Amino acid sequence: MRIVFAGTPDFAVPSLRAAAQRNEVVAVYTQPDRPAGRGRGLTPSPVKREALERGIEVVQPENFKSAAAREALAAYKPDLLVVVAYGLILPQAVLDIPAQGCWNVHASLLPRWRGAAPIQRAIQANDARTGVCLMQMEKGLDTGPVLLSQALDIGSEETGGQLHDRLAALGAQVLADGLGLLRAGIRPIPQPQPKDGVTYAHKLDKAEARLDWSRPALELANKVRAFNPWPMAEAQVAGERLRLHSAVALPVSHDAAPGTLLAAGRDGLDVACGEGVLRIRVLQRDGGKAITAADYLNGRRDLLVGV
């Protein structure tokens, strides 16, 4: 099959490898190079780097609004367009180009968590399960019928980064299964998404990263997990702004004001929440690196007094 692949971040790289394994990927579409790093130099996307290593032609349009951009895609005569975290909404005129339509690998069990950040929102909501759907694309946002899906359990302390990597691998597996069926002349049967249970995974915003100690400890612990490695939760603790890499909720009753440091020891920093206590286990000071609470307290001996 002649496949055009569209994707941008690390999540899409395993799927690109799966698509290229037993098919002809004639072109890779990815977002234009963006400024990144301290020098803010233009940096290619992970998908672009993978494509160039494989000798696949790379195309980076800003969008598909022009007829020229759509004609360039059509010139590849794709049997299938595979889209994985591309970052652009594709108009119907683009979806109509490939002979077999357009497939999308989405990191949730649709219709739950349509949208930009399904991995982090699933953890933040304390979901026990998530998964990957291979979806037939249509004009709506992640509304198309599901062709194949696989579920997996979310670990009780799993971070956004860890779940991202597992789902990226699972997405590649589901895509490979779908492509194998199509090569064999078996088209997966599209299953319309249920009308009930629709939720939207809105894009992550750095402004969300600040913890509100008046909220329940479990909610904050889930946010710490979900936002690791980006945008990373942060909070004021004992008069200092800290970024939190790891924390757990303790079902402890207390009468302290939210944000009060209740205890500080090798096991962590215990902070009063609106309900329960958040134990901070791994943290990062401004300009520093991630360290354990025990190492942090070596430089903050004052916190061991009177706590």
Q: What's the confidence (pLDDT) of residue 305?
A: 55
Is residue 91 a known part of a binding site?
Answer: no
Compute CA distances 261 → 104, 176, 291, 305, whole Å: 46, 50, 18, 11
Tell me the C-alpha distance between 112 and 198, whole Å. Answer: 5
- What angle separates helix 13-21 from helix 160-183, to the nearest 10 degrees? 20
Which residue ranges make up each domain of the chain?
2-201, 206-304
Tell me the C-alpha distance between 146 and 110, whole Å. Answer: 8
State both tokens at 5.
Answer: 């692949």
Q: What's the confidence (pLDDT) of residue 35?
A: 85
Q: With H, G, I as helix, E, B as strand and everything else as coil, classify residue 11.
A: helix
Tell me the C-alpha distance between 232 and 289, whole Å. Answer: 13
Q: What's the confidence (pLDDT) of residue 37?
A: 75
CB 264 within 8 A of CB 304: yes
Among all chains, which residue has been given the structure tokens 């909404």? 89
Outline where DSSP puts E strands in 107-164: 114-115, 129-136, 146-153
Average pLDDT by consecutive 10-residue portion of the chain (307 residues)?
Answer: 97 98 96 85 95 98 95 97 95 96 98 97 98 96 97 97 98 98 94 97 95 98 98 95 98 96 95 98 96 94 69
Q: What's the confidence (pLDDT) of residue 202?
A: 96
Among all chains, which residue has been given the structure tokens 């694309």? 137
Q: What's the confidence (pLDDT) of residue 285?
A: 96
Q: With H, G, I as helix, E, B as strand and everything else as coil, classify residue 189.
A: coil
**Which has the closest alpha carbon to 176: 227, 218, 127, 134?**
134
Amino acid at 272: A
Eight-state DSSP code of residue 286: T
CATH superfamily of 2-201: Formyl transferase, N-terminal domain (3.40.50.170)
Q: Does domain 206-304 have CATH number 3.90.650.10?
A: no
Is residue 109 a known part of a binding site?
Answer: yes
CB 234 within 8 A of CB 224: no
